Amino acid sequence: MKKRILQRISDSAVWRSIFRTGIPDTDLKRSMLMFHNFFLHIFPVKMKRHGLQFSYTFCLGGISCLLFIVLTITGILLMFHYTPSIERAYFDMQALALIFNGKILRNLHRWAAHGMVVTVFLHMVRVFYTRSYRPPREFNWVIGIGLLILTLALSYTGYLLPWDQLAYWGITVGTTIMTYTPFIGNYVRFFLLGADEVGHEALLRFYVVHCVELPLIIGALMAVHFWRVRKDGGISGLL
Amino acid sequence: MDKNQDKVFVKDPNKTYGLMEIVEGTSPMVEKAPEDTVDTFPHYIILLTICSLAVTFALLLISLFFDAPLEDLANPLITPNPGKAPWYFTGIQELIHYTNKPVIPAIIIPLLIIVWLILIPYIDRKPLTPFASLFNRIFIGGEKRRILIYLFTLFIFGALIFTIIGSLFRGENWSFVLPWK
Ligand code: HEM
């Protein structure tokens, strides 16, 4: 009975116009299901059995990616309630607590951001100990280091946006560390802040970099990273 | 056919016939050695769904019970003591505290670590020349890469320890404090 209903639905013209395969009860249909779906075709049709083993990858790369997706969704929603100006930013943050679910939106964004720094770092640690950077995966490791640095930069630029004491002094201390660069230290800081001190220019700069530039770059780099995982033959073999 | 499969289908130039075998499976395989693979759907898709839901749910729980901090409005005239960078940089701050040449922990060490990390896959490879093999023995520690593992583990624990001290155990004027007091 249940099966017949499922069969009817998956045979219907509407269903077939969206998903080209019916109930995936044969190997062929299972592979078509993966292959003919825009979102799933990023995965291979078949995978090495050990690649699914949790204790090999701990899903850390995948979790990093998931957190990035959560951050993108909550981040875009937060943008509807935020103005990057020193007169309004802090009060927008306060007002957020009054909006239905506004607080949880901010919490999700905050904890996912901290979480992503942790999972990306742990992912690197996993890749190192399983020695998965060996040929042909050398360059994917290098892309990974780029992703790690970008993740830190994303987290750091977001840190200023609430414009509270924590944000202001966190960025002041951080950019002071950068002035220790020999010869060009003060220029580096000026370039980042758009002024000599953390102020309106810095807030606007960090806002644009945090909401537009870095997400675009990290998104593109992630696409290359995943592409290469597949082109290099999937998850590396056991040591 | 790739290299791996040549090992399974060993070719004998004196023979005109090939070897075939009946192997258990759910679909026919042509010109392919038996491989240890599974269908992505459903095996992997189920794992992916469970893992994603679990992480999302955990994140929701955390966000329900712990609020993101929001302190007073930014005020350039009131300097908090100690002023701290975000937690992932407090390790560097901690290191700066030990020296009066801040350029070393603030710039040189992080840059060297990044360069070293990028180079890891290029120095840990099969040595082909005697020089490469000497290089490998000094910087990697041979096939078991003992030295590399030692250095990397040192880096991880160093980063961990300095970050923990910097963010939790430092109070006014960067003096040592216990977080639970
Ligand atoms: C935004 C950050 C990153 C994301 C979203 C990401 C995502 C992923 C995913 C989903 C995989 C598949 C296997 C797995 O989940 O473990 C993977 C594999 C890999 N990642 Fe990353 N990654 C990131 C950063 C890094 C970093 C920092 C490194 C190293 C420095 C790195 C190096 C690699 C390598 C070498 C592989 C292949 C591993 C293998 O074949 O076993 N990735 N990455």
Tell whether B28 is covered by a domain: no
Instruction: Report the pLDDT averaged over residues A16-29.
Output: 85
pLDDT at A101 over 60: yes
Q: How many structural domains compose chain B?
A: 2
Tell whether B81 is covered by a domain: no
pLDDT tens readout for residues A202-227: 999 999 999 999 999 999 999 999 99
Supply the pLDDT for residue B8. Answer: 61
Pairwise CA distance, residues B163 & B165, whole Å: 6
Other beta carbons less than 10 A from residue B131's beta carbon: 9
Q: Is the CB of A154 under 6 A from ligand 1?
A: no
Residue B93: domain span: 87-174
Supply the pLDDT for residue A97. Answer: 87
Give which of B74, B77, B65, B98 is closest to B166, Cα–Cα: B98
Domain holding A94: CATH number?
A: 1.20.810.10
Pairwise CA distance, residues B104 & A181, whole Å: 9
Instruction: Report the pLDDT averaged over residues A115-126.
Output: 98
pLDDT at B161 over 90: yes
Q: Is the CB of A123 under 6 A from ligand 1?
A: yes
Query: Is B51's Cβ below 8 Å from some Cβ in A?
Result: yes
CA A137 to centroid of ligand 1, rounded, Å: 10
Query: Is B173's Cβ below 8 Å from some Cβ in A?
Result: no
Q: Of A38-42, A139-143, A196-200, B25-29, which gets the smallest average pLDDT?
A: B25-29
**Are B93 and A141 a contacting pair at CB < 8 A?**
no
pLDDT tens readout for residues A132-189: 999 899 999 999 999 999 999 999 999 999 999 999 999 999 999 999 999 999 999 9
pLDDT tens readout for residues B6-50: 566 667 778 777 666 677 776 666 666 667 788 888 889 999 999
Choice from A127, A222, A235 to test ligand 1 binding pocket (greatest atom count within 8 A of CB): A127
Are B91 and B138 contained in the same domain? Answer: yes
CA–CA distance from B152 to each of A126, B16, B90, B119, B164 (Å)? 12, 53, 20, 13, 18
> Residue whose CA is closest, atom 35 of ligand 1?
A141
Supply the pLDDT for residue B4. Answer: 54
pLDDT at A2 over 80: no
Answer yes or no: pTM beyond 0.80: yes
3-state DSSP assignment of residue B176: strand
Are B41 and B99 contained in the same domain? Answer: no
Tell whether A171 is covered by a domain: no
**Burial class for A119, CB neighbours closer than 10 Å (0-12, 13-18, 19+):** buried
**Are A62 and B48 a contacting pair at CB < 8 A?**
yes
Are B93 and B167 contained in the same domain? Answer: yes
Supply the pLDDT for residue B58. Answer: 97
Q: Which of A69-73, A93-97, B8-12 has the highest mean pLDDT?
A: A69-73
Tell whether B179 is covered by a domain: no
Are B91 and B125 contained in the same domain? Answer: yes
pLDDT tens readout for residues B129-153: 888 888 888 888 888 899 999 999 9
Query: Is B65's Cβ below 8 Å from some Cβ in A?
Result: no
* Helical spans, DSSP H, in chain A: 2-11, 13-18, 27-35, 54-57, 60-79, 89-96, 102-129, 138-160, 165-178, 185-193, 200-208, 214-231
Are B117 and B59 contained in the same domain? Answer: no
Tell whether B32 is covered by a domain: no
pLDDT tens readout for residues B81-125: 899 999 999 999 999 999 999 999 999 999 999 999 999 999 898
Supply the pLDDT for residue B132. Answer: 85
Supply the pLDDT for residue B20. Answer: 67
Tell whether A81 is covered by a domain: yes
Instruction: Report the pLDDT averaged over residues B61-89.
Output: 93
Tell whether B15 is covered by a domain: no
Residue A82: domain span: 51-163+214-231
Q: How many structural domains compose chain A?
A: 1
Give which of B27, B47, B55 to mutate to test A binding, by max A Cβ within 10 Å: B55
Tell whether A19 is covered by a domain: no
Give ipTM to 2 decimals.
Answer: 0.91
Pairwise CA distance, residues A109 & A114, whole Å: 9
Contacts with A83 (C-beta within 8 Å, 6 or more apart), sequence order? A89, A92
CA B149 to centroid of ligand 1, rounded, Å: 19
The phi and psi torsions of B39 (rounded to 5 degrees) equal -70, 135
Task: Supply angle C-alpha B160, B161, B167, rounded to 5.
Answer: 90
**Are B85 and A173 a contacting pair at CB < 8 A?**
yes
Query: What pLDDT band is residue B1 in, cutting at 50, 70 and 90?
Result: very low
Instruction: Report the pLDDT averaged over residues A191-208.
Output: 95
Reduced 3-state DSSP string for A8-58: HHHHCHHHHHHCCCCCCCCHHHHHHHHHCCCCCCCCCCEEEHHHHCHHHHC
Q: Is the CB of A157 under 6 A from ligand 1?
A: no
Q: B32 vs A20, which has greater pLDDT?
A: A20
